[in-house]
Amino acid sequence: MNNSTPLSGKKILVAVTGSIAAVKAPILVSRLIQAGVEVRCVITQSAAKLVSPLSLSTLSRNKCYQDKDQWEDNQTKPLHIALAEWAELIIVAPMSATSLSKFTSGNAEGLLASILLAAQSQIVIAAAMNTSMWSNQSVQKNWNYAKSLAQVISLEPSEGLLACDRIGEGKMVNLDIIELASESAFIFRAQNKLLTKDLKGTRFLVSAGPTVETLDAARQLTNRSSGRMGVLIAQAAKLRGAKVDLVHGPISIQKELLEGLNTYPVRSSTEMGEKIDDLQPLAQVIVMAAAVSDFKKNNPSEKKVSKEIFLESIFEELVLTPDLIKNQTKKKLENQIFLGFAAETGSDKEIIEKGENKRVIKGCDLLMANPIDKAGQGFDKNFNSGFLLGPKNIVKNLSFSTKLSISHQLLDEIRNIKSKIY
């Protein structure tokens, strides 16, 4: 069992440009180092006024390169070429309007600009600037061109309070999203592929997390689902160009992982079903990854019931919750693709048999049956495995891996089905 992440042992060049969001760069470098990455840094002149090159050198355990280093006379190879060839991935965070303009116009002035033009690896760019600058027609033209490049993984800024005291778009995406994009790049690199916008124009509807059913004023029914699997599928789809609606119960993962998604928080199975009903007609792909509670109590008490009365009545008052997947597939529109999930226990054979039975009964095109009785994976873990089941007795073994890697494998299968339909 390999518990390493897609970033372990990789070589990443972190580039910092002149946006106030540069102050987050040391934290990013530190997080990458903790993930087992070999990090080198390059910083522009304007960024060096905002964050100390020494701090980046100390955190990365390597020299932080600046423009003045580009043509030192002790080099056997031009520095920008050496760094471009060394890097397996380049992260530009933040990407300022100036650096974006240089990159998209082929301007090689400065060390970073030269590196980006010489790079053969994928480049993650996370834009950050004032709202008016971001919405400027010239900046948007440059950004749209950068997004069109297969080499580029573009992370648009989010809306929030900016350093200029203005609230609007321009805030650099949080570091969790930058890490997800970086991990995704290496997942594809392992297959000698680039992470591209191959799902552009596709609308996804994803459910995630547990649901909670009220029993009385003090008690509730729920399950151990954290929501990680569904949220990572949603983010992976977004990285690949999809528009994503996420309906989620009370998740227990960091809220930063929801950034950039259209989110609809709900609590009960009834609320989740109603919201999915609203959004289903808009979606081409529906991923039902939520772990919906199996039981609920009709007319739960608004007061706390005594333990004795609770025990006497609880089993008589519990009813089954609606089968959300089955209910939604009954309303399936032409060419909609459904992916369901089934958490199971037992041998591989038993899991496959139970999963295929559920796939047929629930009407799913695809269903992932994943064991929850194996150590280190499943509920509230970062790793998973299982079997992807499809029509004509298709069974694909999804071996033990990170949930992000599993997410991309599932999306690959959805893309393959979609390409045959449309």
pTM: 0.93
The answer to whether 164 is a known catalytic residue is yes
Residue 245 sits in the same domain as residue 161? no
∠ CA(15), CA(18), CA(23), 5° rounding?
A: 75
**Residue 82 in tokens:** 């050496």
Same domain flag for 259 and 363: yes
What is the structure's pLDDT at 422?
A: 53
Distances (CA, A) of 217 to 33, 292, 299, 301, 365: 46, 21, 12, 6, 40
Indicate whether 180 and 221 sit together in one domain: no
Say if CB 20 and CB 163 are below 8 A apart.
yes
- Cα 149 to Cα 52, 60, 153, 285, distances in angstroms: 31, 29, 8, 25
Residue 56: per-residue pLDDT: 98
Question: Residue 392: what pLDDT?
Answer: 80
Considering the domain architecture, whether residues 208 and 179 belong to the same structural domain is answered as no
Evaluate whether residue 196 is within a structural domain. Answer: no
Are 397 and 360 within one domain? yes
Tokens read off for 121 = 């690896």
User: Is residue 6, in this structure, part of any structural domain at all?
Assistant: no
| Judgement on whether residues 177 and 218 belong to the same structural domain of the protein | no
Residues of the domain holding 225: 203-421
Q: Is the peptide bond before 210 cis (omega within 30 degrees of 0)?
A: no
For residues 129 and 215, membership in a common domain is answered with: no
Residues 286 and 406 in one domain: yes
pLDDT of amino acid 1: 54
From 164, 189, 214, give the residue that closes a domain. 189
Which of the listed residues 189, 220, 255 is the one where a domain comes to its end?
189
> Of residues 41, 64, 164, 364, which has the active-site annotation?
164
When divided into structural domains, the chain yields a total of 2
Backbone angles phi, psi at 61, to 5 degrees: 65, 25
1 inside domain: no
CATH number at residue 65: 3.40.50.1950
Establish if 63 belongs to a structural domain.
yes
My answer on whether 133 and 208 are in the same domain is no
CATH code for position 247: 3.40.50.10300
Both 175 and 259 in one domain: the answer is no
Domain boundary among 147, 162, 189: 189
- What's the Rg (C-alpha) of the chain? 24
Residue 197 lies in a domain: no
Per-residue pLDDT of the chain (422 residues; tens, 9 = 90+): 566 778 999 999 999 999 999 999 999 999 999 999 999 999 999 999 999 999 999 999 999 999 999 998 888 899 999 999 999 999 999 999 999 999 999 999 999 999 999 999 999 999 999 999 999 999 999 999 999 999 999 999 988 777 777 777 889 999 999 999 999 999 999 999 999 999 999 999 999 999 998 888 888 888 888 999 999 999 999 999 999 999 999 999 999 999 999 999 999 999 999 999 999 999 999 999 999 998 888 878 788 877 777 776 777 778 889 899 999 999 999 999 999 999 899 999 999 999 999 999 999 999 999 998 888 888 878 999 999 999 888 889 999 999 999 999 999 999 988 777 65
- Whether residue 182 is found in the same domain as residue 207: no
**276 and 400 fall within a common domain:** yes
Query: Can you give the pLDDT at residue 99?
Result: 97
Does residue 157 belong to any structural domain of this protein? yes
- Dist CA 388 CA 410 (whole Å): 8
For residue 3, tell me if it sits in a domain.
no
φ, ψ at 341 (rounded to 5°):
-130, 150
